[in-house]
Structure 1
Amino acid sequence: MKSLKLSFFVCFFTTVFLSAQTKDITLESIWNGTFRTERMDVLHSLANGQQYSVLNFDRNTRTTAIDIYDYKTLKKVKTLVNSASLDALQYFTNYTFSKDENKVILATNETAIYRRSVLGHYYVYNVNDGSLTLIDKDKIQEPTFSPDANKVAFAKDNNLYIKDLLSGETTQITQDGKKNTIINGITDWVYEEEFAFVRAFEWNAASNKIAFIRFDETNVPEFSMDVYGEGLYQTQHVFKYPKAGEANSNVSLHIHDLETNETKKVKVDKVYNDFYIPRIKWTNDSDILSAHYMNRHQNELDLWMINAKRDTSNLVLAEKDDAYIDVTDNLTFLKDNSFIWTSDKDGFNHIYHYDKNGKLINQITKGNWEVTNYYGYDENTNKIFYQSVENGSINRDVYSIKLNGRNKTRLTKSEGTNRASFSADFSYFINTFSSASTPPEYTLNSAASGNLIKSIKDNDVLSQNLSNYKTSKKEFSTIHINGNDLNMWMIKPADFDDSKQYPLFMAQYSGPGSQSVANRWNGANDYWYQHLAQQGYVVVCVDGRGTGLKGAAFKKVTQNELGKYEVEDQIAAAKQLGELPYIDATRIGIWGWSYGGFMSSNCLFKGNDVFKMAIAVAPVSSWRFYDTIYTERYMTTPQENASGYDDNSPINHVDKLKGDFLLVHGSGDDNVHLQNTMRLAEALIQADKQFDWAVYPDKNHGIYGGNTRLHLYKKMTHFINKTLGDKIEKQKEEKVKEQTIKG
């Protein structure tokens, strides 16, 4: 078809001839670590800008070490600390330096709470004398050095504490913490999940004040999950979870003064009725705290400067949007307390420079492309460093630009995905590069020019290993759907014959601002798609309207109607692809996880004349069941937008089901609750619609652990073969017969 562009560049998995590839990619090989990539773990640039530290794990001795390397030579200078020489702990899993780098917090016995939060035992290691100090005998959260490195603040049992490393004394600075009622300095469930942070307290520069957010969860409804475990009776996990339209935590901002031992509640000169505080950050002035205040609809964001000494507040920036405003960690204060800010207010995400009172100095980056990461500002060269998709929305490159918006330089040279980790003085950066044809490579580069200095680590062993396997090309192109050129990739069988017809299997996620079509190295699902291609499927992924990195209008078109335009695009893409001579339009399937499961369910129901089957893993079946912050950002509340919630809910379209449907969920999913699948299953049952389903006991949203992932992917592969692959088996039998006759 003319509207389907197939002449774009093709990325190859390997550089060897296909004839040399003999082994099949099995599900077992995907999940047993055969294709694991080498990486650099917990990289930290030291303050001198000439060295960096890496966490290294010795598999033989089961010990860990922090090793120091020289940027110029890439040689190891020394081992800062090795757990083999520490009697108190066998190993540690993470580390954090104090500002002067004379002390290090070592983490051990860490256990996950939710997606980002952990409990653990933490020690302070003194680099100068080799001493080791346990911060607290109990498991704690988020231990954080004061800037002067003499104290550590941490959270325990919903309260905040400070340990004085000089005296050894620990002081409790909040008293009212109580499970499922009051949380001090640690985010509640929905903040952690949707605003992507856990530590809700911050030290000021003088180490004499701590600002923290207090969460009053009293009125937030509780959700409970059965935990089946191995005992005779199941237990219950009960936690506060605000579903769309329900009560959130009442949040308040407080500042504790260590010198007076007083805690004051912050008051700003504006009345907020229902609001969020998604970020706090001290400025370079130890008395001035910045805080983001955001309305419940998340389309108004205020930046306040709070004077802790005078108890005054100043609103320096107020942004409004017709849809929503993204919260980031990009706020950066310069020496004069002017600040860097990112915003998509001109239609694309860009970098701005404001003075300390919120007056715009200049817009630093401009263009019909998105800034995708902000790395920082070098005051010595007056340069901003950032990542963007200026070289095509499926690629990432690293750039530098002057603070005044001039002298922009592309620092990375290879087309694909580039990600930088800069030295503290911005003289070097370690670039992580990958593409659909190149596994991750770590190189040392000049921050001034981007020129390669040395290679640090590659994955040549993996590339060589992959050369023994049958792999297919990953073809990037665009497909014109509903007035838009949508990014797409396609994987065909290695022995593809355009005179034959193949079943089509579509993969997607489709959530707001997401991107699934990207020129980067494989994740586990990519190897699964290769496995399916080996079985005789054409696998395709299309990023429809609502996905990211193509401008605010493209991303925010789905506002108030999640699941409408995204589903229309997937159905239209399937129809158009079904018209290709080598696609069997009677055998088209689709799958997705989480938001993608919401999508695949809707596609099968609404597109019942197009899709023969669908798999939905951990799907949202109604946005009424999901949390406030995420859902209301795109939909407002159910009370305000009932039709938006219900018109595109899979539950309300089960009567349209004609094809085969596999529904999968983990019973311990604290994020997208099993309730979604149970309610969808009940709707299907009452509509007398047959379907297959599986519930994985006590597994969370990721559905992993032990043999779980392998079992899940075997189940899904079997379902695909059963519903789409009937002709494939016949073709294989005919091929065997032909070879037998020829023989």
Structure 2
Amino acid sequence: MKIFYPFLTATCLLVTHANAQQALPLYTPGHEEMMLRYKKAAILDSVSRNTVFKSSVNPNWQHKEAFWYCNVLKDSVREYVYVDAGKAVKRPAFDADKMAAGLQAATGKTFDASRLKISRMDYSTDGKQLSFELDKQYFVCTLPAYICRKADTLSFRSAGRTGFQRKSSRWESFETASQSPDGSWEAVIKEGNVLIRNKATGAEQQYTTDGTQEKPYGSIAWASDSRYLVCYHIAPAVDTAVYYVLTSVAGTKRGQLRSQPYKQPGDPFTTYEMFVCSVGEKAARKINTPVIDFFEAPALHWRKNDSRYFLFERIARGHQQFTVTEVDIQTGNTRNVLEEKTNTFIYESRLFTSYLAQSDEMIMTSERDGWQHLYLINTLTGSNKQITKGEWVVRSVDSVDAVKREIWFSASGRNKGEDPYNVHYYRIAFDGTKLMDLTPAPGNHTVLFSPGKAYFLDTYSQINVPAVTELHATGSGKTVLALEQADISLFLSKGVRLPEPFHAKGRDGVTDIYGILCRPADFDSSKAYPLIEYIYAGPQDAFVPKSFLSSLSEMQSLAALGFMVVQIDGMGTANRSKAFHDVCWKNLADGGFPDRILWMKALAGKYSYIDTTRVGVYGTSAGGQNALGALLFHPEFYKAAVAACGCHDNRVDKQWWNEQWMGYPVGKHYEEQSNVTNAYRLQGELMLVVGEADTNVPPESTYRVADALIKAGKTFEFLPVPGLGHSDGGPYGKIRKRDFFVQHLLNTLPPKRNQNELKQTH
């Protein structure tokens, strides 16, 4: 795949624009029609509430083979379902009419049998009693007579449920005191130095003397056999503060100054110098490894039968090098078991590692062959074997079974003929054999395992295909029961038009770019409608929704006003190949715009009613940065933008996010790609939105853009929202955004809100 990703090249790729197909009359509604459209949009803002049923199953496992769940139906009617997985039986959890009668007899109150709100429930082992919590009261009912009584407390046996788990952090937390695993010793930090206390005698041995309050020892960790203690000489870095003013705090007469520590790109990190204390010796021994100057002290992984050795991980600042290092405590020497380097970046938060001390192995993910895959590493020799292969991406790892030598993971892109972002779940052996697709049905899948993982619930859907939930046997993957299929009949009766998935070639002419289109339900194909892109090009993920209901948001209500609304994942976002992702490297201003523009032109080539001479864009946070960037760097295509809480200058935003993609040290490319630096380029119509209490992206990021625009003599709308945090402007911001696009893309007057022309839509 050929990629063009230097910032200036990407900016100049698409310098002309003409809609050759444009022959239809423009859709430009009159004011009265526009008012009707606003009313439709207001209805769609909440249309999915209480109109889509049975779209998911929330299992409450009683034991390893049985669970119950509740379906909330039209008019808040509730049905309770009991499933015996072992017998492949699904039935009503109880007789609702008899239950209501039994409760009335026990309490003297009337209960609606169709709307019992049970929050917890448990069957006795013999199935003859049902205990549950209803409206914050406990009850026990004898079955099948439904003789009920109140109870003071209940002991529920619910075994819970598990989805795919987050990996544990590779970084340790600070500790100032710690007991050894065998309970014999206690490590204590006193006046910045390390002491080990014999818990039986109270005798203490001081191991360090150069620790101070300003530069203490800490972050201590014991070996599993209690013979060694690892500690660090720490040089803390104090993060400087960012400030903001709350202008309208109740009960005050002055603006209230607030601040928070905030690490920005280039700011220093606390450093950690590694030492080891051996029980019985009198001084700490320095480990022969460079000072750790990025992130916190690492988690330690000890050899199973020899605590002389442990492993730790390290990410070099700049995210271009990852190492797994072995420490020999007796000599203080180290060796790198594994070293990964890249010319672009290693995505640290997607890097999975699992240490198998019993066999001196580790499982890890790597993009070394151009795709995120699983590898088996021998931690004694450093030799490695690739477990998964192909032009697809491992998305997450649920668990590693060291006994069965199996890995449970999710991935996307492996199932040919599907959207490559659809998530499926798999199991594979350490040697790369016995790969099983647990969720082969087309769609985007979510899995919940039973306790013990003998069964799992699979819920899958597509953006325009309602959800199905099935119960499967994990060992074979076979379907045990079809549990539910979403009912969307009421939803469709409200006048909703489902989104359409669409893909087109990107800037290289080879790679498919994926997105969705939302239309007005009543659009007229004989007229040309303006186009609005909802944008978020943050490289940390992909953002176009893949599951049913996930797009039922502002996109569809905005479309109801008379727009074609799209969302696209361009190059530079995650979950595709390494080359696809690398486009963002030191190049956030690219934003995938060359791909996005080609995608929208291809869409207009398919549908003549899409007008690419009237294109708007909106986004929040990184999407706010992108929305303004669209006007600054691609004014030939984008004509109007609403940019909310944007990280408009990557030097002003948070360190962890920006150095991951823009690199370290902070170079000239940070300045060259800043929306502040490039504000003078503005040609289209712009609205800037910012919450004055934004603790995610400093409000000053937006204010600096406003300052630069003013100095450049540009006109724009500016909406600061008192008291609001990191958001798109809240309900009022959404109103102003809609009015902005109606005015500038439809050339129609929005409601006269000060005259209460459309009061009911607020």
- Separation in structure 1 between the aligned mates of residue 301 and residue 221 of structure 2, nearest angstrom: 7
What's the counterpart of residue 368 of structure 2?
345
| Structure 1 counterpart SS, 2:731 | helix
Letter in 2 for 1:221: T
- Separation in structure 1 between the aligned mates of residue 542 and residue 422 of structure 2, nearest angstrom: 11
- Separation in structure 2 between the aligned mates of residue 699 and residue 279 of structure 1, nearest angstrom: 37
| Structure 1 counterpart SS, 2:638 | coil
Contact 1:504 1:540 in 2 (8 A): yes
- Separation in structure 1 between the aligned mates of residue 468 and residue 282 of structure 2, nearest angstrom: 51
Deviation at 1:2, TM superposition (A): 14
What's the counterpart of residue 462 of structure 2?
435
Contact 2:527 2:609 in 1 (8 A): yes
Spell out the pairing of 1:471-490 with structure 2 (5 A cutoff). 471-483=496-508, 484-490=511-517
Letter in 1 for 2:574: G
Contact 1:509 1:592 in 2 (8 A): yes
Of residues 351, 354, 373, the one that matches 1:332 is 354
- Separation in structure 1 between the aligned mates of residue 718 and residue 643 of structure 2, nearest angstrom: 9
Deviation at 1:261, TM superposition (A): 14
* Greater displacement, 400-409 / 719-728: 719-728
| Structure 2 counterpart SS, 1:633 | helix
Q: List runs of 5+ in structure 2 lacking aligned partners.
A: 1-17, 22-38, 73-81, 91-120, 125-130, 139-157, 160-173, 195-209, 752-762
Letter in 2 for 1:230: A
- Separation in structure 1 between the aligned mates of residue 471 and residue 222 of structure 2, nearest angstrom: 33
Aligned residues: 608
- Separation in structure 1 between the aligned mates of residue 430 and residue 60 of structure 2, nearest angstrom: 25
1:526 aligns with 2:557: no
| Structure 1 counterpart SS, 2:471 | strand
- Separation in structure 2 between the aligned mates of residue 261 and residue 424 of structure 1, nearest angstrom: 47
1:467 aligns with 2:489: no
Contact 2:464 2:500 in 1 (8 A): no
- Separation in structure 1 between the aligned mates of residue 179 and residue 485 of structure 2, nearest angstrom: 36
What's the counterpart of residue 29 of structure 2?
none
| Structure 2 counterpart SS, 1:584 | strand
Percent of counterpart pairs with the same letter?
22
| Structure 1 counterpart SS, 2:239 | coil
Spell out the pairing of 1:348-497 with structure 2 (5 A cutoff). 348-357=371-380, 359-389=382-412, 390-391=414-415, 392-423=419-450, 425-438=452-465, 443-454=470-481, 460=486, 463-483=488-508, 484-497=511-524
Deviation at 1:181, TM superposition (A): 10
Contact 1:666 1:698 in 2 (8 A): yes
- Separation in structure 2 between the aligned mates of residue 263 and residue 695 of structure 1, nearest angstrom: 58
Deviation at 1:555, TM superposition (A): 0.6
1:543 aligns with 2:569: yes
| Structure 1 counterpart SS, 2:339 | strand
Deviation at 1:546, TM superposition (A): 0.6
Of residues 19, 41, 64, the one that matches 1:50 is 64
Of residues 514, 520, 533, the one that matches 2:541 is 514
Deviation at 1:378, TM superposition (A): 2.8
Deviation at 1:225, TM superposition (A): 3.0
- Structure 1 pair 379/297, CA: closer, same or farther in 2 (3 Å)? closer
Of residues 540, 554, 559, the one that matches 2:580 is 554
Deviation at 1:569, TM superposition (A): 3.1
Contact 1:536 1:728 in 2 (8 A): no
What's the counterpart of residue 245 of structure 2?
226
Letter in 2 for 1:511: G
Letter in 1 for 2:245: D
What's the counterpart of residue 665 of structure 1?
690
Deviation at 1:510, TM superposition (A): 1.4
- Separation in structure 1 between the aligned mates of residue 448 and residue 50 of structure 2, nearest angstrom: 26
Deviation at 1:178, TM superposition (A): 13
Of residues 577, 593, 601, the one that matches 1:567 is 593
Q: List runs of 5+ in structure 1 lacking aligned partners.
A: 5-21, 59-67, 87-96, 102-139, 161-175, 186-200, 731-743
Spell out the pairing of 1:78-97 with structure 2 (5 A cutoff). none
Spell out the pairing of 1:94-493 with structure 2 (5 A cutoff). 217-228=236-247, 229-232=249-252, 233-251=254-272, 267=287, 269-272=288-291, 274-277=293-296, 280=299, 282-283=301-302, 285=304, 287=307, 289-306=310-327, 313-327=334-348, 328=350, 330-334=352-356, 335-357=358-380, 359-389=382-412, 390-391=414-415, 392-423=419-450, 425-438=452-465, 443-454=470-481, 460=486, 463-483=488-508, 484-493=511-520
What's the counterpart of residue 532 of structure 2?
505
Deviation at 1:491, TM superposition (A): 1.8
Letter in 2 for 1:555: H
What's the counterpart of residue 46 of structure 2?
29
- Structure 1 pair 255/413, CA: closer, same or farther in 2 (3 Å)? farther
- Separation in structure 1 between the aligned mates of residue 240 and residue 513 of structure 2, nearest angstrom: 40
* Greater displacement, 419-428 / 369-378: 419-428
Letter in 2 for 1:679: R
Deviation at 1:465, TM superposition (A): 4.1
What's the counterpart of residue 733 of structure 2?
712
| Structure 1 counterpart SS, 2:493 | coil
- Separation in structure 1 between the aligned mates of residue 290 and residue 375 of structure 2, nearest angstrom: 28
- Separation in structure 1 between the aligned mates of residue 257 and residue 67 of structure 2, nearest angstrom: 42
Deviation at 1:485, TM superposition (A): 2.5
* Greater displacement, 26-35 / 578-587: 26-35
Q: Which has the higher relative contact order, 1 or 2, with Cα contacts under 8 A spaced 6 or more apart?
A: 2
Letter in 1 for 2:724: K
- Separation in structure 2 between the aligned mates of residue 460 and residue 38 of structure 1, nearest angstrom: 4
Contact 1:373 1:387 in 2 (8 A): yes
| Structure 2 counterpart SS, 1:511 | coil
- Separation in structure 2 between the aligned mates of residue 180 and residue 440 of structure 1, nearest angstrom: 57
Deviation at 1:410, TM superposition (A): 1.1
- Separation in structure 2 between the aligned mates of residue 512 and residue 274 of structure 1, nearest angstrom: 25
- Structure 1 pair 441/574, CA: closer, same or farther in 2 (3 Å)? closer
- Separation in structure 2 between the aligned mates of residue 252 and residue 409 of structure 1, nearest angstrom: 45
TM-score by length of 1: 0.69
Deviation at 1:237, TM superposition (A): 3.7
What's the counterpart of residue 629 of structure 1?
656
TM-score by length of 2: 0.67
Deviation at 1:451, TM superposition (A): 2.1
| Structure 2 counterpart SS, 1:726 | coil
1:693 aligns with 2:693: no
Deviation at 1:365, TM superposition (A): 0.1
What's the counterpart of residue 679 of structure 1?
704
Deviation at 1:317, TM superposition (A): 1.2
Contact 1:69 1:76 in 2 (8 A): no
Deviation at 1:395, TM superposition (A): 0.9
Letter in 1 for 2:471: L
1:721 aligns with 2:748: no
Of residues 630, 638, 645, the one that matches 1:603 is 630
Deviation at 1:611, TM superposition (A): 1.6
Contact 1:277 1:292 in 2 (8 A): no
Letter in 1 for 2:250: E
* Structure 1 residues 701-722: Cα deviation after superposition (integer angstroms, max 9, x where no partner): 246xxxx733332222222222
Deviation at 1:534, TM superposition (A): 2.0
What's the counterpart of residue 19 of structure 1?
none
Letter in 2 for 1:528: E
Compare CA radii of gyration and give the structure with the larger one. Answer: 2
1:651 aligns with 2:680: no
Contact 2:53 2:486 in 1 (8 A): no
Contact 2:19 2:612 in 1 (8 A): no
- Separation in structure 2 between the aligned mates of residue 468 and residue 208 of structure 1, nearest angstrom: 70
- Separation in structure 1 between the aligned mates of residue 226 and residue 735 of structure 2, nearest angstrom: 54
| Structure 2 counterpart SS, 1:530 | helix
- Separation in structure 2 between the aligned mates of residue 179 and residue 695 of structure 1, nearest angstrom: 43
- Separation in structure 2 between the aligned mates of residue 692 and residue 52 of structure 1, nearest angstrom: 58
Contact 1:177 1:184 in 2 (8 A): no
- Separation in structure 2 between the aligned mates of residue 230 and residue 615 of structure 1, nearest angstrom: 30
What's the counterpart of residue 11 of structure 1?
none
Contact 2:531 2:566 in 1 (8 A): yes
Deviation at 1:408, TM superposition (A): 1.4
Contact 1:181 1:218 in 2 (8 A): no
Contact 1:571 1:603 in 2 (8 A): no
- Separation in structure 1 between the aligned mates of residue 433 and residue 463 of structure 2, nearest angstrom: 32
Contact 2:620 2:727 in 1 (8 A): no
